[in-house]
Structure 1
């Protein structure tokens, strides 16, 4: 796949995540929506931490995240990662990975990601979301085994 294709897949994956977090579909992620998804991955930020997180990238001062601000938040988190050659996985990303790795084998399969999304979304889970889950795995599946390791997981969330 050419580099441009990877970038397009990454943007598409981020857009899909944005749409999943934006529960009411208004094109904005509120502190409440952000907090709910962070709780799903084992984090429990308080209201001030959530507001600070949003404020750090909220260019229009709305108190919410539009898609571009959401991308900037992800970029900001990536930039805070060590830039040396060693792979140090952010504890938040590892916690998210463990939520999806239901059988604890160190890999996330399509079946596992679909189950977590089904649990999170309940009746909101659809065939379209199932396809998005498959896309999330395919985008970062560097070894072609149909599963993602924590290192591959970084590819989905960066």
Structure 2
């Protein structure tokens, strides 16, 4: 998403300034946020605005401030997503014992046994294949990383 130009901001300002007094009031901003489906408390908006209304130059500053906040929040979300993805890749590596990019029933059985999560080897082999089968979307008998992510999130079970 690209930042708005001064021309576009002026058009938005003029549209928001319903009473054409050269100011955009907190009420007019609240109306905009409501139309966008965004929730804001009046007190919070007044704190951001600093006054009861914004002239055009204050409106530009207000927009730039909101834009910076949104960019920072998006950057934080991207970093969190990358960290989660990295954690999942490490967990995947615990189960992908031969490093081929797939988890077989045998690898799952061995890894669960090493982690002390399963003792009955005979039953575990069948159960491990059934576990893989639930998330094995391409029916190759193996879990790739994307299928493993689904398994860890539990999405396939919820939609079944």
Normalized against structure 1, the TM-score is what? 0.45
The structure with the larger Rg is 2
TM (norm. structure 2) is 0.45
